[in-house]
Copies of this chain bind each other. A is one copy, B any other.
Amino acid sequence: MSPKSHLREHMEKIFYPESVAVVGATKVPGTVPHDIIHNILKADFQGIVYPVSPKEKFIAGAKCYKYIVDIDDPIDLAIIVFPSSVADMALEQCGNKGVKSVIIISAGFREVGGKGIEKEQKILEIADKYDINFIGPNCLGVINTDPKSMLNASFARKMPEEGTIGFLSQSGALCTAVLDYAQAKHIGFSKFISFGNKADINEIDLLRYLKDDPKTKVILMYLEEVSKGRELMDVAREIIKDTGKPILAIKSGRTDEGASAAASHTGSLAGSDLVTDAAFKQAGIIRCNNIEEMFNKAIAMAYQPMPKSNNIAIITNAGGPGVLTTDAAIHEGLELAKFSDQTTAVFKKYLPKTANIKNPVDVIGDARADRYKVALSQALKDVNVDGAFVILTPQSMTDIDTIATEIVNVAEQYDKPLYASFMGEADVASGIDILQRNKIPHYSLPESMCKSFATAYKFENHKLNEIDRTELYNDVDKESARKIIDDAIKKGKKILPENEADRVLETYGIPVPERKLVTSAEEAAKVAVDIGFPVVLKIMSEDITHKFDVKGVVIDLHTEKETKDAYESIMHHVTKFRPDAKIDGILVEKMVPKGQEVILGIKRDPAFGPFIMYGLGGIFVEVFKDVSFRVAPIDKNVASEIIEETKSSKMLHGTRGIEPADVDALQNTLIRLGQLAVDCPQIKELDINPLIVLEKGKGCFVADANIML
């Protein structure tokens, strides 16, 4: 990676250059270099374009330069379109010329493997040498619709409309589909960036740029590979906290097959999709499955006010679609608002007798614009209503375009979100066009409309996704934990002995049963009395992993005599079965009472680092795979989410025949485990299986823990 000390300044020149050199321009139509230079010129760029071409004298009326260094004027931005074989030389010349901001369109780098990887390394070194920052290689380019710049430095077929959506994509091909999709729906963009192999400037840099871009209200992103998961989470949280801009993202490769297709496409190493899911949730990033879903949600948030509540009104001219929309709304967790008496009175007065004046309001098939206007205005006026859905079917009396215009007028008068669905396609097309031009989100499906509203509502009402660090524990003893682990690593251990694992947990305040290592039957009995019956005795020997197989464990001991006998019995059996084993002693441990069993774990993801796994024990994890994940560290809020996300959480809250468990204690343990995961990167994996959660107020205890180094 090249240095990023002047990154912000350099990025500013990528989007707002006053002079652009297209390095490798040609006159041959149908080629990328040709398309780029023509795109820049067509889009009314607010600056000077310098084609650089070893062969041509002029291109599209502009004088050509043989080399970029031949240009007398300073160059803010160079766009390299030469083949990858000479891209390094071109970049070197940019360096000589003093250009600091570059877009490398050329393909043939890391994505093709082999020599391509070396080539990418080479250009990074050159960029480093000259303090250059660049976007690409292997990308479609960059578009800035700001009238101050009007830069289409891409080989896309078209320049999008100006708008408030910032779009980032790792896939160039997807960009062309997105631009085409957006054009038809009058969706505008503030900045549109294809960042390709992200060898230098990556999605995190671009997110940070869009954060401060006053033209951008909503940020969309298509990713095939997350390389710096933590930074991505941090920047997303920062954006949401500081600016309230929503971030929506598609991350492909959800299934194993998809991930492997993505890998062969980009050479990326995909982490677990479930961790990505969790990380996005934690960072407040709204994950979408496809372009349509992403834009459906984006236009809701970019065009309309955010919903203050989930109480919506439905206005329709057809009963059937009203029912379908109601079904979809309820399914998405929305509620049909109860109209005020005043609203009901207005509906009674102005709507026909046959109209259904309850929510969903049916203004009846012969409704014209006046009736829609009355119903919609009154619904939005109602204090019980915080959003409205307008449904239209093209019946013979329906004045579609006038109704669309009326919807636009009404929407302007109220600070509440209004979405529309004109059902059909051909006849309703002109009406939909009016809505789309005037920033009324339009959906062909009631489901998409309701889903988009629900997403906006949830985003608005759960904005704070930052970990509350005041909720982390100060009483953890990081030094001691690390020392135990480091000592074990020094001894070449891959698994921490049980007693030491327990000690590590203890240093983090995770409750392990009281216990002591003893070396005689008398001592065992004495310790048992001290810690209180019932106790468990376990053989401690690094040579013995499967303690039960050598009869090295006796549980449920209630008296001194039982304890002494158990000690002798263990020693007898162990020395018989494993005469070779070096024995450290026998562990006398307080027996954990019965409770609900849960399983906790720490694992590490290549992109997102340490994360916590949680599930209710027994069949729930083993048979139903009812587990959830969160990236560490976690606070009380996230600890609660991780528990509630599992279906089996109901069990913990108590149900017929089962007492409510100490969920507070469990949450605390999860928080502490998250701290341990972050503080001790030497822990490769940790399993607590099970943790016994007792009844409310009685705490929880580790019954068995394993730490892999």
Contacts and interface: CB of A to CB of B under 8 A. Distances in A.
A233 to B, nearest CB: 22
Contacts of A429: 184
A255 B327 CA distance: 5
A261 interface: yes
Interface string A563-589: 000000000000000000000000000
A219 interface: no
A396 B292 contact: no
Contacts of A323: 224, 252-253, 258, 261-262, 265
A354 interface: yes
Given A181-B423, A424-B181, A427-B180, A265 B330 contact: no
B265 A362 contact: yes
Interface in A64-97: none
Interface string A396-416: 110000000000000000000
A396 B181 contact: no
A504 interface: no
A623 to B, nearest CB: 5
Interface stretch (A518-526, A647-655, A668-676, A688-696): A647-655
B173 A321 contact: yes
A588 B222 CA distance: 70
Interface stretch (A52-60, A312-320, A481-489): A312-320
Contact of A222 (B157, B291, B320, B396): B320
A355 to B, nearest CB: 11
Contacts of A365: 172-173
Contacts of A349: none
Contact of A321 (B157, B177, B362, B651): B177
Contacts of A497: none
The count of identical subunits is 2
Contacts of A655: 619, 622-623
A480 interface: no
Nearest to A354: B112
A684 B565 CA distance: 63
Interface string A428-446: 1100000000000000111
B32 A396 contact: yes
26 contacts: A173-B317, A173-B319, A173-B393, A174-B423, A176-B318, A176-B393, A176-B424, A177-B393, A177-B394, A178-B424, A180-B425, A180-B426, A184-B425, A185-B425, A250-B324, A252-B324, A252-B327, A253-B323, A255-B326, A255-B327, A257-B330, A261-B322, A290-B328, A290-B447, A619-B655, A622-B655
Contacts of A35: 396
A469 interface: no
A342 interface: no
A15 to B, nearest CB: 22
A647 B624 CA distance: 8
A265 B356 contact: yes
Contacts of A174: 318, 320-321, 393, 423
Closest 9 CB pairs of A and B: A180-B424, A173-B318, A171-B320, A184-B425, A265-B319, A177-B423, A258-B327, A255-B330, A174-B320
B395 A264 contact: no
A615 interface: no
A158 B183 CA distance: 29
A164 interface: no
A429 B255 CA distance: 30
A425 B258 CA distance: 25
Interface in A232-283: 250, 252-258, 261-262, 264-266
B183 A446 contact: no
Contacts of A254: 327, 331
A381 B234 CA distance: 50
A289 interface: yes
Given A30-B397, A176-B395, 16 more contacts: A32-B396, A112-B354, A157-B394, A158-B427, A173-B318, A177-B394, A181-B425, A261-B322, A261-B326, A262-B319, A264-B356, A265-B319, A290-B447, A292-B444, A619-B651, A623-B655
A329 B262 CA distance: 14
A176 B391 CA distance: 13
A496 interface: no
B360 A171 contact: no
A250 B325 CA distance: 13
Contacts of A256: 330
Given A155-B396, A254-B331, A356-B265, A183 B320 contact: no
B622 A319 contact: no
A478 interface: no
A490 to B, nearest CB: 37
Nearest to A360: B261
A172 B362 CA distance: 14
Most buried by B among A177, A256, A426, A445: A177
A233 B172 CA distance: 50
Contacts of A170: 320
Interface in A347-397: 354, 356, 358, 360, 362, 365, 393-397
Contact of A623 (B158, B252, B651): B651
A656 interface: yes
B173 A395 contact: yes
Contacts of A354: 112
A656 B622 contact: yes
Interface in A471-506: none
Contacts of A619: 651, 655, 658
A254 to B, nearest CB: 4
